Amino acid sequence: MDSGKPRALLSVWDKTGIVEFATSLVDLGFELISTGGTARKLKNAGLEVMSVSDVTRHPEIFDGRVKTLHPAIHGPLLARLQKKEDRIGMEELQYTPIALVACNLYPFVSAAAANPPLDKDALLEMIDIGGPTMVRASAKNHANVIICCNPDDYNSIIEDLKRSQGNPSGIPMLRRQALALTAYQHTASYDVAIANTLHSRWNGIPESFDSVAEQSARYHETLLASSMKMKTLRYGENAHQSAALFVDDDAQGTYSTLVTAHVEGGKAMSYNNYSDADATLRLCRSLSTDEWPDTPHACVIVKHNNPCGVALAKNQVDAYMDALASDPESAFGSIICFNEIVTLDTAKAMADLFIEVLIAPGYTPEAKEFIMQKGNRRLLTIDSPNDRLAPLDRKRVLKQIEGGWIVQTEEAPIIDWKSANTVTEKSVSDAEIDSMKFAVRVCEQVKSNAIVMVQGLSTVGIGPGQTSRVEAVRIAARRAGERANGCVLASDAFFPFADGLEQAAQAGASAIVQPGGSIRDQEVIDAANRLGISMLFTGHRLFRH
């Protein structure tokens, strides 16, 4: 029988604050309906709770798979009480309106990120059906139902209800619309997480289809992305631009990301800080591999999204000093990343350099204390396995353009160095091959047109982001100075004319690694032979725009 009290239906996975919220609702004259674990928690807190089964007069079935999917629940959620026909229908069916719904969904994102991974059946069980249906119905009928998906909104909803003396109809329409929008964002984000996870898992099982064509037809490509706003940033790239930081729903796993990194010291991170830190971290991850076992320490220095110094060394201090020597002028106000825990010796070596942000998988207590003596130092800690940055993962990169998006994958280039082709009369030595491997890995992260000069496993000159490849060579050579003599030079794309190679030879380069593929390759090869330079073609272009 209808008690005349407004009803609230509470069914939440995240039970943060739910007891306090429910208690306040009861104090305001609400009658509570709940189910499953939420109902047990409320009853254990001493609250009187009506079960969903009491309302539907139907038991939960299939191990709780079907609970709220019933006309006795969704009729009250969708009834337009401002319409006479709907009010009459509710009376005939003896349904009582539901004025408020608090519901958030099973944690599919964290379930998908479980380690070890959940098997197919266990993962599918984490897909909430009744919850999203209830949320969407309530949001659709927000004129009559207050929908809350975020525990952070509980207190403000209670304050709104107190102002209306417990009368749900007193909640303003703008407030209802805001809550409904949050609800749709909640279910949309949830559906994106499910679709992306299942796409990545199921799309990797081609044996379940008769042909590749059938597989492609089965998976219609739809770009889905979901992120939640973490915080508003001070401003964007420039002071007149607004900016914010969002975190991907799936930014969980065995180690932290740049967005979820622990930040200490100094001012809050800015838009430019995050942009530059991303470029720095990406290159450092690219070098944090087992490819150079004798030189495991990597240091990357980035300014305005371009590396200005990169090195691998046997110890961390040498890696820093070698990277700094590449371009000490540009390193002022830079972002620096190490792939190993920062030591006190390294901290002391950096003492005189102004650094915007320092990134590492950790810091010794002595190093952190020393670094933080300067109040403007910002430390980012990227939790990582074995206290070493994890290697660069293959990922999807999205770029918005007018009217749509362009999407690509990003990953470290996989080059078969045994099959790479030496095209000059002068052969490439094993030491030069090792330097080429390093130079190519760095070059891949430099804005195009890009030229990188290295000595051993350290950059000595970088020419980034030029419209002319010859000019990129000139810039790298100018920064390298005398250190260009005998260097290995990497180019992110082929030399379209011999002039760039001639400029490199004039600077002192003794070996060049480039993709090849120009219609004038032979002209460039002839110039290298004439100048006594060895040259290797990889067949892999490394543009970064």
CA–chain centroid gap for 210, Å, is 35
Task: Please name which of 143, 152, 154 lies closest in space to residue 177, comparing C-alpha atoms.
Answer: 143
Residue listed under structure tokens 């099982």: 205
DSSP 80-134: -TTSHHHHHHHHHHT-----EEEEE---HHHHHT-SSPPPHHHHHHT--SHHHHH
Please enumerate, as own/partner, the contacts of 372-376 that have beta carbons within 8 Å and a separation of 24 or more.
372/264, 372/265, 375/265, 375/266, 376/265, 376/266, 376/267
Task: With residue 454 as reference, give the H or E element that holds it.
Answer: strand 451-455
Alpha helices in 425-497 (DSSP H): 430-443, 469-480
Cα within 13 Å of Cα(50), Cβ side: 21
Task: Tally Cβ neighbours within 10 Å of residue 48.
Answer: 9
Query: Strand, coil or helix: what is 193?
Result: helix
Query: Strand, coil or helix: what is 462?
Result: strand
Task: Please name which of 443, 157, 200, 444 lies closest in space to residue 452, comparing C-alpha atoms.
Answer: 443
Quote the CA–CA distance of 142 and 470 in Å, as a whole number: 63
Quote the CA–CA distance of 535 and 422 in Å, as a whole number: 6
Phi, psi angle pair for 297, to nearest 5°: -90, 125
* Structure tokens given for 45: 């807190």
Q: Are 118 and 126 in contact (CB under 8 A)?
A: yes
Quote the CA–CA distance of 441 and 465 in Å, as a whole number: 16
* Structure tokens given for 205: 């099982």
Q: Which of 43, 70, 199, 304 is catalytic?
A: 304
Residue type, 484: A
107 class by beta-carbon count within 10 Å (0-12 exposed, 13-18 middle, 19+ buried): middle
In the chain the first and final C-alpha atoms are separated, in Å, by 68
Q: Are 99 and 168 in contact (CB under 8 A)?
A: yes
Q: Which of 15, 43, 58, 140 is catalytic?
A: 140
Outline where DSSP puts E strands in 233-285: 244-248, 262-264
* Cα–Cα separations (whole angstroms), residue 3 to 29, 74, 411: 11, 19, 62
To the nearest 10°, report the CA torsion of 141, 145, 147, 152: 150
Q: Is 140 in the active site?
A: yes
Query: Strand, coil or helix: what is 211?
Result: coil
Q: Is 545 in the active site?
A: no
Phi, psi angle pair for 304, to nearest 5°: 50, 50
Cα within 13 Å of Cα(149), Cβ side: 26
**Active site members:** 140, 304
